[in-house]
Amino acid sequence: MKLTEIELHNFRNYVDQTLEFSDGINVFLGENAQGKTNLLEAIYVLALTRSHRTNNEKELINWNSQTAQIKGRLQKRLGTVPIELDLGSKGKRAKVNHLEQAKLSTYIGQLNVILFAPEDLSIVKGAPQVRRRFMDMEFAQMSNRYLYNSTQYKKILKQRNRYLKDLHYKRQKDRVYLDVLSDQLSAYGAEIIYQRLQLLKQLEKFAQNVHSEISQGKEQLTFDYHTTVEADQLGSVESIYQSLLKHFAAIKDKEILRATTLIGPQRDDLHFVINGKEVQSFGSQGQQRTTALSVKLAEIDLMKEQTDEYPILLLDDVLSELDDFRQTHLLTAIQDKVQTFLTTTSLSGVQQELLTNPRIFRISEGNVTLAK
């Protein structure tokens, strides 16, 4: 899938702007606060009807206007598709092929995007819940079964935690109901852990390729899923279920004392390992950034497997996070695969002669000129 053209009316600091894009790499180049990210945001909003930067949609509309409009032309395998999003005080209106869509859900998905912004570094550096959230969000998008299991799991987890509190504070005696909840939680938990492992295996394969390419084969990235389930019990849903049940039985008193559930997928973590060393603890800043980027870029391949079309890639201020060598390798690794849009204040670290057919837009105070 490619976005061949975008037209903006009163979107942020763009009153009337039309841009035609390259199939490969498109660069929005300029000083700070000139409107680079606004362009990337416009593409994101066109795709998902909401911004990655703000929940207040009024901010997206130019200060001197009441409405804004973003139009895009998509090149898909089956032909050209015009899409359009209108923003105003009465809400959003979306069109596909000039036809207004009754529901935004039929519109979203026309243009698939993957965004990588500096905040995504927290997948590597952040707390475990960031990684669990990452897995849950990604895998729920890819698998209805995963979404179902995690919804059920959360429901039962809530009940179980409430019951543990009752046992703790109200000194309730009936532990049989706790066993029932432990059994249900183990069943859904086992499904989740098993599916995470399967999907992580696929993601790891893709991330390994990207990482190896960016680091020129010097670094091998592997994933390590941390869970209380013993390594030799991870092979099937049934054995994970049995293991969780056994652990629940063993820690019953402790859980009542702490009044909360102490094991399960909501406590697991994902560790990233480069050449045998954990990146979170031992990786350099550059390695941590490359890892986050590799994991994010691996989603491109997973999405392609899923939807049969490549998404487009948005990179917000990512180059400055990488050394010159990795900047060039990142861009050459992705340029023939996926249409890319990136914002940067400088391209001096990139060997531009290695880019095929890049289009470089220079942005200054909301004015766009084609530099190449």
Ligand X SMILES: Nc1ncnc2c1ncn2[C@@H]1O[C@H](COP(=O)(O)OP(=O)(O)OP(=O)(O)O)[C@@H](O)[C@H]1O
Rule CB under 6 A: say whether 38 interacts with ligand X. yes
Rounded Cα distance, 154 and 152, in Å = 5
Minimum distance between the CB of residue 194 and ligand X, rounded to whole angstroms? 42
DSSP string spanning 184-233?
HHHHHHHHHHHHHHHHHHHHHHHHHHHHHHHTTTS--EEEEEE-SS-GGG
Rule CB under 6 A: say whether 13 interacts with ligand X. yes
Confirm or deny that 10 is annotated as ligand binding.
no
DSSP string spanning 236-249?
SHHHHHHHHHHHHH
Minimum distance between the CB of residue 64 and ligand X, rounded to whole angstroms? 8
Rule CB under 6 A: say whether 359 interacts with ligand X. no
> Which C-beta is closer to ligand X: that of 12 or that of 289?
12
Nearest to 116 by CA among 15, 205, 6, 214: 214
Rule CB under 6 A: say whether 36 interacts with ligand X. yes
Chosen residue from 26, 37, 227, 339 binding ligand X by CB under 6 A: 37
Rule CB under 6 A: say whether 323 interacts with ligand X. no
Find out whether 150 and 140 touch, Cβ atoms under 8 Å.
Answer: yes
Minimum distance between the CB of residue 147 and ligand X, rounded to whole angstroms? 33
Confirm or deny that 365 is annotated as ligand binding.
no
Confirm or deny that 33 is annotated as ligand binding.
yes
Rule CB under 6 A: say whether 26 interacts with ligand X. no
Dihedral sign (CA 47, 48, 49, 53): negative
Rule CB under 6 A: say whether 69 interacts with ligand X. no
Alpha-carbon Rg for the chain in angstroms: 24
Rule CB under 6 A: say whether 34 interacts with ligand X. yes
Minimum distance between the CB of residue 62 and ligand X, rounded to whole angstroms? 4
Query: Could you tell me which residues come within 8 angstroms of residue 326 by beta carbon, excluding any fewer than 6 positions away?
Result: 214, 215, 286, 290
330-349 residues near ligand X, rule: CB under 6 A: 343, 345
Element (H, E) at 182: helix 176-214
Minimum distance between the CB of residue 270 and ligand X, rounded to whole angstroms? 30
User: Which residues bind to ligand X, rule: CB under 6 A?
Assistant: 12-13, 30, 32-38, 59, 61-63, 343, 345
